[in-house]
Amino acid sequence: MTSTLPRAPVHPLLAFYLISPLFDRREQLGLIIALVLSESSDTAPYASGRLLTDHLNSVRLIEDSKTEISQTPRLRYMNGRSYYRWIIDLAERSSLKIQYTPGHSKDHTLETQMNNEADFLASSSQKIYKDIPEIWPPTFHMNQFTFYSPTDGWIESNIPHYVDLRLAQQTITSLSHGHSQRMSTWAHDDTPPPEYPYLKAVSAHSAAVQLYARSGQLATADILKKRNQLEDDKCRLGCDATETPRHLFVNCIKYQEWRDESLKEVLDRTELKLATFEIVGDTKENIMAAAKSLFIDSSIWPLHFSLYYLGQLPNLNILFSENSNINPVQKRRLVSHLAVDWHTSSIRLAGRIFGDFQKRMAVLNDNPYSYNTSNRIPVAFSQWVF
């Protein structure tokens, strides 16, 4: 955050820079606005006025721009270059000394106090961000040729990286429609899943089950029948129902005991977390109700059916009642704890069920654990690969 010395009343223009979603951009805009405002200030031009900022990149660039070495080539590729050019341009014309002050430091110097106050004003303005006017990027300082996207505006970041990101977003959008809602991540909780079972566990079986489930490649009877590899799609474990992944993971009576076991584990852990975070009342009831519905179809789930076996969770943020006293930091921590617990139990249960199912099917096929000599993939797995 940026603050000017000598102290001046806070100008509403300062609020401009708070609305930018990019942290760097907010810091840059803070500097720009302070420099612009200081031009018409009575005190700044005189007697060693100082402009304080905790944005080290800007201060270094301003210092570098005063040396013999031209900054033009460097600025051509920098992220947020138009803002930096604007800052340099304003700094050249200003008599203020632009000085770096470390952010979030604990001493009681005037600089730290000014910085803390600027931080405080910035975070309190988040509450009124809808009322703050929007600022447009400084096109007058952009490269002569700059990419533009109708959704994202002017692109001043690395273009190959940007294209990658857009392609990934497009793929997510096209996958999230249809496909039996297998990729309906948008409707569910967006807390990142725990890394351990995916990246570090020795056996990646649980992750593999989810990968194949999400790709619609699990060798359940409905899929095998569609591919003419089975004549009947009835549950091969004896139920009078179609053998779909949903049936296997959510409804098949053969695995009810395991679901109950996992549910008990989830409820115990959730209760303990709620006690630790001292959550009571409606919020506690909502969270416990959601935990109880983790492995069954219920209105707690955004699409009204459980997708735990795809690594999805119901949206955790909406479980907190409006009058709950939990502060935002604690809330984030609790959501992240719950997401890790629930996610881990879910994928373990899915892995356990499908592991057992595979073994049973291998026995049923009278060919347990034999290997396909051409590609060394176990028979049960080779059914997945088409």
DSSP symbols for 259-306: HHHHHHHHHHHHHHHHHHTT--HHHHHHHHHHHHTTTS--TTSTTSS-
Nearer Cβ to Zn ion, position 183 or 237? 237
CB 297 within 8 A of CB 306: yes
Window of 70-78, 247-255, 261-269, 293-301 that interacts with Zn ion by CB under 5 A: 247-255
Among 31, 237, 266, 310, binds Zn ion (CB under 5 A): 237
Q: Which is nearer to Zn ion, 97 or 359 (CB)?
A: 359
Q: Do residues 141 and 82 lie in contact, with contact meaning Cβ atoms separated by under 8 Å?
A: yes
What is the signed CA dihedral for 176, 180, 184, 187, rounded to 10 degrees? 130
Taking contact as CB under 5 A, which single stretch among the options 41-49, 239-247, 303-311, 317-325 is the one that binds Zn ion?
A: 239-247
Q: Minimum distance from CB of 224 to Zn ion (Å)?
A: 15
Q: In whole angstroms, how close is the CB of 242 to Zn ion at the nearest point?
A: 9
User: Which CB, 115 or 358, lies closer to Zn ion?
Assistant: 358
**Minimum distance from residue 251 beta carbon to Zn ion (Å):** 7
CB 294 within 8 A of CB 337: no
- Return the structure tokens found at 186: 């948008």
CA angle 102, 100, 134 (to 5 degrees): 90
219 close to 361: Cβ distance less than 8 angstroms = yes
How far is C-alpha 275 from the chain's CA centre? 27
Q: Please say which residue, 83 or 249, places its beta carbon nearer to Zn ion.
A: 249
Q: How many residues bind Zn ion (CB under 5 A)?
A: 4
CB contact at 8 A, 277 and 269: no
The CB-of-255 to Zn ion minimum distance in angstroms stands at 8
- Judge contact between 94 and 38, C-beta under 8 A: yes
Pairing of strands 153-155, 50-53: unpaired
> Is residue 334 part of the contact set for Zn ion (CB under 5 A)?
no
Min dist CB 240 to Zn ion, Å, is 9
Question: Among residue numbers 67 through 86, which ones bind Zn ion (CB under 5 A)?
Answer: none
Give dist(CA 360, CA 249) in Å, integer: 15
Nearer to Zn ion, 252 or 310 (CB): 252
Least CB distance to Zn ion at residue 253 (A): 6
User: Which residue lies nearer to Zn ion by CB, 68 or 231?
Assistant: 231
* From 1, 35, 209, 252, residue interacting with Zn ion (rule: CB under 5 A): 252
Taking CB under 5 A as the binding criterion, the range among 23-31, 38-46, 235-243, 359-367 that sits at the site for Zn ion is: 235-243
* Of 82-90, 237-245, 261-269, 335-343: span binding Zn ion (CB under 5 A): 237-245
Q: Which of 32, 235, 294, 310 binds Zn ion (CB under 5 A)?
A: 235
Q: Which is nearer to Zn ion, 17 or 295 (CB)?
A: 295
Question: Which C-beta is closer to Zn ion: that of 122 or that of 361?
Answer: 361
Q: In angstroms, rounded to a whole number, what is the distance separating the alpha carbons of residues 1 and 8?
A: 15
Of 248 and 300, which has the nearer Cβ to Zn ion? 248
- Report the alpha-carbon angle 328-333-336, nearest 5: 125
Under the binding rule (CB under 5 A), the answer on residue 213 touching Zn ion is no
Packing angle of the helix pair 205-214, 328-364 (nearest 10 deg): 90
Quick check: 239 binds Zn ion (CB under 5 A)? yes
- Among 150-158, 209-217, 238-246, 358-366, which window interacts with Zn ion (CB under 5 A)? 238-246
3-state secondary structure of 192: coil
CB of 309 to Zn ion, least distance (A): 14
Residue 37 or 239: the one with the smaller Cβ distance to Zn ion is 239
∠199-201-204 over CA atoms, to 5°? 80
CB of 201 within 8 A of CB of 328? no
Distance CA 338, CA 342 (A): 6
Q: Which residues contact 348 (CB under 8 A, 6 or more apart)?
A: 197, 206, 262
Q: Which residues bind Zn ion (CB under 5 A)?
A: 235, 237, 239, 252
